[in-house]
Structure 1
């Protein structure tokens, strides 16, 4: 069976993401990117995708038996204010990155609504670059919001 990858299928069934190339994801999703937006990195979970662009994090949920119906959910990069990382231990432990972000569009209000999102990865995935990138983003966002 061409394209069948048992490791990816097992990791996907465990809720883990496997890395996909920006070129492959751009070919598939270029019609859904905003003006000037570029895909930086991405991951696949069975048939759903987690895509990091220059503007947002996209959760792409392929629905139904055929996967032709697709739902896109965004977390905008400029709303991320904190990031945490947990590395894999021994055994079946996974690595994870958790972001905290502002849900409301007006970020200088006194009525902030915070939300968290965790991304889990197989232990073989090097999540340190993603953690550093999101950490740097959160520092810049905090400085911008608090000035």
Structure 2
């Protein structure tokens, strides 16, 4: 069911060992991955220090955009849950001093958004 959920836009738990290997040039040597979610080809990774959003681009996914948000720079976030007609749940991340969200992530109706919201709250409350 994991592949089907990924194709439908649902976030699925990502294997931490595979994520560590994929992000070996991004992660610090001792940086611990706390949560990782795969969203089709993209990744949302929570470490002990930061949130990393990996956006695979293009047809082949060879071009990759890595965004790092240190928890201390995240001033707030908002979560809009899905409804009957609007099936997407939305997470918006704001950084200090910005009026517009620095990152918006869309999820289909699932429980991952709740776990992501808790992880983000725990990260910025440190």
Normalising to structure 1: TM-score of the pair? Answer: 0.65
- Root-mean-square deviation (CA), in Å? 2.7
SS at 1:67's partner residue? coil
Q: How many corresponding residue pairs?
A: 124
Q: Which residue matches 2:117?
A: 131
Determine the structure 1 residue equivalent to 2:24.
30
Distance 1:126 1:65 in 2: 26
If each structure's helix is expressed as a fraction of its own residues, which one has the higher value? 1
Which protein is bigger by CA-based radius of gyration? 1
1:120 Cα deviation after fit? 2.0
Aligned counterparts of 1:118 and 1:71: Cα–Cα separation in 2: 14
- Listed as ranges, the gaps of 5+ residues in structure 1 are 103-111, 141-147
1:41-52 matched pairs, under 5 angstroms: 41-52=35-46
Q: Out of 3, 6, 9, which is 2:7 matched to?
A: 9
Aligned twin of 2:15: 21
**Which runs of 5 or more residues in structure 2 are unaligned?**
none
**Offset at 1:79?**
0.7
Runs of 4+ in structure 1 deviating by more than 6 angstroms, as ranges, are none
Q: What is the TM-score normalised by the length of structure 2?
A: 0.73
Tell me the CA shift for residue 95 of structure 1.
2.3
